[in-house]
């Protein structure tokens, strides 16, 4: 079965009979090529990719400089003993930490976001000598044991108990929260303080860490309110806990700043990166302070894996950082995100099914509701919209899992141009006209 000459019927017969289920329904398109902000099917269809693959291809698909780095590095280095260190790893560690504030001084490189969160949680437990970990109710941190135990948005059913000590806070949702000031505005502080009163009631006195995303992507692109992350760190410090910030999707320019936490007046104790750092290759990072890293070493911390500090992904990560800084893509992310949000807001004047628009850089949430008064989520219409957009050449959402509801979660490559944003807006408008007229 060669690319460009794929028998579609045979392809799907094999896919349906030989591939295992992991939670998603496959889009019935056969992708044979990707380039820039587009992917292409075996039938020659050109599709704007507003999910950056799985929210990962930060600087676009098949970037020629990244392709070159992969080819050149793999011709001399492929994989090393985990106890060996190669120049690409040192280069990435130096380059990454130079972009981060003091207190994020030492980096370890792994393969996936779930793995980096697993490392961070284990390190926090080792350093604090405690075992309870707090997550948010609409969080997504991965599918491995400890990370999955802190994932509350979906995936908790069907396999017995989660890791002991997994506790949950309500997610901040300005659009839907019942916590309100007298004037109707969102009272996130009372909500957060009340949540912590419940945590304290549940805790056995062994609170180790909070793990949190600056934007809860799987929760519906929920952006932490101004002051929220700082208040969360104060709650952690009061209880002798560490703050783990998971920037799998928000890091490396995605949110209009190099790292999302930079705009929130907080330095986390442990920072986790993945997806965007490797531009689609399996690369993640855990960055922490010298003090925490040294305490882990003294306490017998162990996370010895097969692909820790692999050279090929590290070389790609260095090139991604170089491209983002050199090509001023952080500023582009901010500008193109504002352009896209403005276009969606204009569209909302004509379509009352658009309940809320949430945007931080090029992370955009578009919530579809039955009506704006009840705010009832409408996943059925959202699904029809997604199919219509795909028909017209736009992949604009990860809603194949029912738990994601009626929120479009969009994150195109941050290298996207003004004209490509406009191209997407034309398709989105056409889809709304098709579904609602």
* Contact (CB, 8 A) for 206 and 130: yes
Q: Which of 239, 275, 319, 358 is catalytic?
A: 275
352-356 contacts at long range (C-beta below 8 A, 24 or more positions apart): 353/378, 353/381, 353/432, 353/436, 355/175, 356/175
- Whether 102 is catalytic is no
Q: Which of 115, 132, 246, 293 is catalytic?
A: 246
- Whether 358 is catalytic is no
How buried is 129 (Cβ within 10 angstroms: 0-12 exposed, 13-18 middle, 19+ buried)?
A: exposed
- Whether 249 is catalytic is yes
* Contact (CB, 8 A) for 103 and 259: no
* Radius of gyration from C-alpha coordinates of the chain: 22
- Whether 239 is catalytic is no
In DSSP notation, 60-128 reads -BT-HHHHHHHHHHHTT-----TT---HHHHHHHHHHHHTS-TT--EEEEES-HHHHHHHHHHHHHHHH
In DSSP notation, 278-294 reads GTTSS-EEEEE-HHHHH
Distance CA 396, CA 51 (A): 6
DSSP state of 205: S
Q: Which of 196, 249, 356, 358 is catalytic?
A: 249
How buried is 33 (Cβ within 10 angstroms: 0-12 exposed, 13-18 middle, 19+ buried)?
A: middle
Closest CA to 170 of 185, 192, 154: 192
* Contact (CB, 8 A) for 172 and 224: yes
In 154-255, where do the E strands start and end?
166-169, 207-212, 215-216, 222-223, 242-247
- Whether 12 is catalytic is no
* Contact (CB, 8 A) for 365 and 396: no
Distance CA 154, CA 24 (A): 12
Q: Which of 187, 367, 409, 420 is catalytic?
A: 409
Distance CA 321, CA 279 (A): 10
Closest CA to 412 of 322, 341, 353, 328: 341
Angle between helices 228-238 and 188-202 (to 10 degrees): 30
- Whether 409 is catalytic is yes
Q: How many CB atoms lie within 10 A of CB 302?
A: 9
Q: Which of 213, 247, 293, 378 is catalytic?
A: 213
CA angle 163, 169, 172 (to 5 degrees): 135
- Give catalytic residues, as residue numbers: 140, 213, 246, 249, 275, 409
């Amino acid at each position: 079965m060669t690319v460009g000459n794929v028998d579609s019927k045979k392809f799907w017969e094999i896919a349906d009979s030989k591939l295992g289920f992991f939670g998603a329904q496959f889009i019935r398109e056969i992708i044979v090529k990707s380039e820039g902000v587009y992917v292409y099917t075996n039938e020659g269809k050109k599709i704007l990719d507003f999910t950056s693959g799985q929210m990962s291809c930060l600087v676009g698909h098949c970037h020629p400089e990244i392709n070159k780095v992969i080819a050149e590095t793999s011709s001399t280095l492929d994989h090393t003993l985990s106890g060996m260190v190669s120049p690409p790893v040192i280069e990435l560690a130096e380059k990454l930490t130079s972009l981060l504030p003091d207190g994020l001084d030492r980096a370890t490189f792994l393969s996936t976001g779930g793995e980096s969160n697993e490392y961070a949680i284990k390190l926090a437990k080792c350093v604090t000598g405690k075992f309870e970990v707090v997550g948010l109710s609409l969080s997504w941190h991965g599918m491995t044991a400890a990370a999955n135990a802190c994932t509350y948005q979906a995936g908790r059913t069907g396999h017995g108990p989660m890791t002991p000590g997994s506790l949950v806070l309500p997610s901040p949702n300005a659009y839907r929260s019942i916590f309100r000031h007298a004037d109707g505005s969102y009272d996130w502080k009372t909500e957060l303080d009340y949540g912590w009163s419940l945590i304290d009631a549940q805790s056995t006195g062994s609170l180790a860490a909070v793990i949190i995303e600056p934007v809860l992507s799987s929760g519906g692109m929920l952006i932490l309110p101004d002051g929220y992350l700082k208040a969360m760190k104060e709650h952690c410090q009061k209880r002798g806990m560490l703050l783990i910030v998971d920037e799998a999707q928000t890091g490396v320019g995605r949110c209009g700043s190099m790292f999302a936490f930079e705009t929130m007046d907080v330095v986390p104790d442990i920072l986790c990166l993945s997806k965007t750092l490797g531009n689609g290759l399996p690369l993640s990072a855990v960055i922490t302070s010298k003090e925490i890293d040294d305490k882990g070493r003294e306490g017998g911390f162990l996370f010895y894996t097969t692909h820790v500090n692999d050279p090929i992904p590290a070389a790609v990560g260095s090139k991604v950082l170089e491209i983002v800084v050199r090509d001023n893509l952080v500023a582009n992310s901010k500008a193109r995100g504002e352009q896209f949000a403005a276009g969606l807001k204009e569209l909302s004047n004509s379509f009352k099914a658009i309940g809320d628009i949430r945007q931080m850089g090029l992370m955009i949430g578009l919530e579809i509701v039955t009506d704006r008064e009840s705010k009832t989520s409408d996943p059925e219409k959202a699904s029809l919209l997604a199919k219509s957009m795909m028909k017209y050449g736009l992949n604009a959402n990860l809603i194949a899992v029912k738990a994601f509801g009626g929120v479009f979660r969009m994150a195109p490559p941050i290298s996207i141009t003004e004209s490509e944003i406009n191209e997407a807006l034309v398709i989105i408008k056409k889809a709304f006209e098709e579904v609602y007229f």
